[in-house]
Amino acid sequence: MKQYDYLIVGAGLFGAMCAYKARKQGKSCLVIDQRPQLGGNLYCECKEGINVHTYGAHIFHTSSKTVWDFVNSLVEFNRYTNSPIANYKGQLYNLPFNMNTFYQMWGTVTPEDARAKIEEQRAEALARMNAEGIAEPRNLEEQALTLIGKDIYEKLIKGYTEKQWGRKCTDLPAFIIKRLPVRMVFDNNYFNDTYQGIPKGGYNKLIAALLKGTDTKTETNFFDNREHWTGIADKIIFTGKIDEFYNYQFGKLEYRTVRFEEEVINTSNYQGNAVVNYTDRETPYTRVIEHKHFEMFGQEVEKISKTIISKEYSTEWQEGMEPYYPVNDEKNNNLYLQYKRLADEEKNVVFGGRLAEYKYYDMAPIVDKVLKMNL
């Protein structure tokens, strides 16, 4: 008889959720992670009395009452509402695209005027394509122009997207933005979901609650002693890179990664918002996160005299870097399907999460997926 029912490789949200569910079913688990701490990309570090999202901002949002009630049964969530600001060469615009944005862009004050301005610019883009004999958008730029028009595309989409992907918009596939949310109301709430917030006290509390009573080992790489780790459990739940699990036998999948420049600033309030996107191409970073605004509201921010910001730089992933976002173009998706065919044949290995499934995941769908899984 083996030591554990499950070996879970990776202590991020998917792995921690699986450990929680397995423990509730009376199963034994060992969770291992190569990082020095648990929580994967959700890990927060408390500095200057502020919970810093070490691996990038994470905002929990869902319309599922089941999911929301579940996470709140573990740790209470606050009222944080994601309302990012776009900075284009010093001009500020509200996101997502709504009546505030259109007023800031064109001075339009009614939905009718804003809609007419968008339709005018969309018609110009469609006329140009028709003149060139183009029936369908061939790339992201053409897709965006036909959805939202030139002004918003050039100021709020083009530069940010090219920094995010490291490629020109004319070289990116159209499907990346098949639709853009356009709201004819004055509403800066980025998400349409019924519920959203941040765990009070940071995400470490959520991970600790999920892993309570589960054996864990950090600074432990599954691949350094694969035979040993495979031998101690009846089943493996694997949340790492699926191509690495299969020794890259079909080739390596591509990823984008993010580099963070963190700075402590001697002011209580640096930018007045948690998230400010820098949408011009010349600014090298994509956005600035001011962490205290995730958990401190109104005059609360003045209670701590310092603040902490992180500048985010998007770059191509290379060995030794943390893989963040899968590059879901046709080439990489086809390569992933080769690995998935092998994974589907596994009897005692479950693959889950953004790296193992080579797809971008928000947090709530991961919680929902694991709650519904048969372990």
pLDDT in tens, 105-123: 999 999 999 999 999 999 9
Q: Is the pLDDT of residue 179 over 80?
A: no
Give pLDDT, residue 369: 97
Give pLDDT, residue 375: 83
The residues, any chain, with a CB within 8 Å of residue 205's CB and separated by 6 or more, are: 74, 75, 199
320 band by pLDDT with thresholds 50, 70 and 90: confident
Give pLDDT, residue 321: 85
Give pLDDT, residue 359: 94
How close are the terminal C-alpha atoms of the chain, in Å? 19
55-91: string of b/e by CB count within 10 Å (b at 16+)?
A: bebbbbbbebeebbebbeebbebeebebbbbbbbeee
Give pLDDT, residue 180: 82
Long-range pairs of 223-232 with CB within 8 A, sequence gap ≥ 24: 229/7, 229/9, 229/32, 230/7, 231/2, 232/2, 232/3, 232/4, 232/7, 232/30
Lowest mean pLDDT among 48-57, 251-260, 315-324: 315-324
282 band by pLDDT with thresholds 50, 70 and 90: very high
Give pLDDT, residue 113: 98
Across the range 276-302, mean pLDDT stands at 97
Q: Is the pLDDT of residue 185 over 80?
A: yes
Q: What is the mean pLDDT of the chain?
A: 96
Q: Is the pLDDT of residue 173 over 90?
A: no
CA-CA distance, 316 to 321, in Å (whole number)?
9
- Active centre residues (catalytic): 179, 183, 256, 287, 312, 360, 362
CA-CA distance, 177 to 144, in Å (whole number)?
7
Using only the alpha carbons of the chain, give its radius of gyration.
Answer: 22
Judge contact between 101 and 152, C-beta under 8 A: yes
Question: What are the tokens at 363?
Answer: 């947090």
Best CA proximity match to 304, nearest among 261, 264, 262: 264
